Amino acid sequence: MAVRVLLAEDHLLMRAGVRLVLQAESDFEVVGETAGGSDVLAKAIALRPDVILMDVVLAGGDGVEATRAIRARCPDIHILILTAYADAELFKRAIEAGAAGYVLKDIAPAHLCAAIRAVSNGTTMLNPGLARQMLDYLYASANAMPAAVPRAVEPRQSRPLTPRETGILVEVARGLSDKEIASKFLLSEYTVKSHLRTLYQRLRFRNRAHAAAYAIQHGLVLEAETTIRGAGQGPPWIGQRDVRSGARRTASSP
């Protein structure tokens, strides 16, 4: 079944280009488009797309606020921000508003198509550089000003996290995709997604960034880092080199 996409972009040439890219793929259907922020909510309600490809700057409107309004009225619609602005503050606002992903307009057409498919399946897609900035911000805020970071709402009947749940949350905070987490723990990707769905429901996470914030605020990352240091393996942290491979670890898009 085709992924139904609504384009919200104020530049006609950009809209036309993205439409051509999506129409070249058999699994996408562009159900509508708009240049303005004033009618994107109405179109979302009327057309009920699976994914909205949203710019942050719209004619007469703000894409981030439009995202917030759409998510409040149509929580089943996934919103992927496509923008020219590699701005960490704007990125944080978009994720907090409920965007499922944030990618830049220099993205390759094939990668954009992959991002839309992933978002339509409930995966969060983040520009790697901005994801690192976001997690660095959350890490610093959790240590310096815990109240500044949005906290996950604790369940009414909480129970301790299992070792497997803890491990998965730690790797989410480090920026690993579901596939990478599955490979690390020798699990199927389906099992990892199932664990995350359970955690999202139980701890009421809004998105992947919220889950990462929870792991950092509750010391799960620091505990894991301490354990690894004690074993003499070094601290594999966002943006640092993984001493086991020499490769720079990034918060890659899932």
Dump pLDDT digits (tens) for 165-212: 999 988 887 777 888 899 999 999 999 999 999 998 888 887 777 787
Rounded distance between C-alpha atoms, residue 74 and residue 76, angstroms: 5
Band of residue 129 on the pLDDT scale cut at 50, 70, 90: low
Q: Say if CB 149 and CB 138 are below 8 A apart.
A: yes
The CATH label, of 1.10.3720.10, 3.40.718.10, 1.10.10.10, 3.20.20.140, for the domain at 132-230 is: 1.10.10.10
| Per-residue model confidence (pLDDT) at position 242 | 30
Q: Which two tokens stand for residue 122?
A: 């409930």
Is the pLDDT at 151 greater than 50? The verdict is: no
| Per-residue model confidence (pLDDT) at position 233 | 40
pLDDT single digits (tens) 215-248:
877 777 655 544 433 434 433 322 222 322 333 3
User: Residue 228: which residues within 8 A CB-CB, separation 6 or more?
Assistant: 234, 235, 236
Rounded distance between C-alpha atoms, residue 166 and residue 198, angstroms: 13
Start and end residues for every CATH 1.10.10.10 domain found in the chain: 132-230
Start and end residues for every CATH 3.40.50.2300 domain found in the chain: 3-126
Rounded distance between C-alpha atoms, residue 54 and residue 37, angstroms: 10
Is the pLDDT at 155 greater than 60? The verdict is: no
Provide CATH code, domain 3-126.
3.40.50.2300
| Per-residue model confidence (pLDDT) at position 27 | 96
Rounded distance between C-alpha atoms, residue 18 and residue 9, angstroms: 10
pTM: 0.62
Rounded distance between C-alpha atoms, residue 44 and residue 231, angstroms: 52
Rounded distance between C-alpha atoms, residue 221 and residue 139, angstroms: 9
Q: What is the mean pLDDT of the chain?
A: 78
Rounded distance between C-alpha atoms, residue 215 and residue 207, angstroms: 13
Q: Say if CB 7 and CB 18 are below 8 A apart.
A: yes
pLDDT single digits (tens) 86-124:
887 888 888 888 898 888 998 899 989 988 998 888 777
